[in-house]
Amino acid sequence: MHTTYIVEQVTIHDMAQLAGLFDQYRVWVLNDLYVREDYRKQGIAEQLLVHAKSFAVETNAKGIQLSTAPDNKQAQALYEKQGYVRDDEFYNYFLGLV
């Protein structure tokens, strides 16, 4: 797991404002969705996406963003089946929850 932190000196008041802003515009990013080859074609990836959506709803997120390689047609079909909308320029997907 890779985590990036950007820290800057802020006051408590600033942090409260930032927290409210983040809550209002939170978007979860799904970086990697991988199912081992011997477990594919069993609906596992679909179940993982359903759980990711449930988590996003529970945390009041605006949506979920993910991306895939332009030649990964199988993943694209799965994402679109789940309601994600493809950005044709960058092949990014977003599942709006509001």
Candidate from 19-33, 36-50, 71-85 with smallest mean pLDDT: 19-33
What residue segments make up the domains of the chain, in order of their start? 27-96
14/96 Cα distance (integer angstroms): 28
Are 26 and 64 a contacting pair, CB within 8 Å?
no
pTM for the full predicted model:
0.66
Homologous superfamily of 27-96: Gcn5-related N-acetyltransferase (GNAT) (3.40.630.30)
CA angle 85, 90, 96 (to 5 degrees): 25
Q: How many CB atoms are closer than 10 A to CB 84?
A: 23
Q: What pLDDT, on the 0 to 100 scale, is given for residue 82? A: 95
Residues 46, 84: contact at Cβ < 8 Å? no
Is the pLDDT assigned to residue 13 strictly greater than 70? Answer: no
pLDDT tens column, 46-57: 999 999 999 999
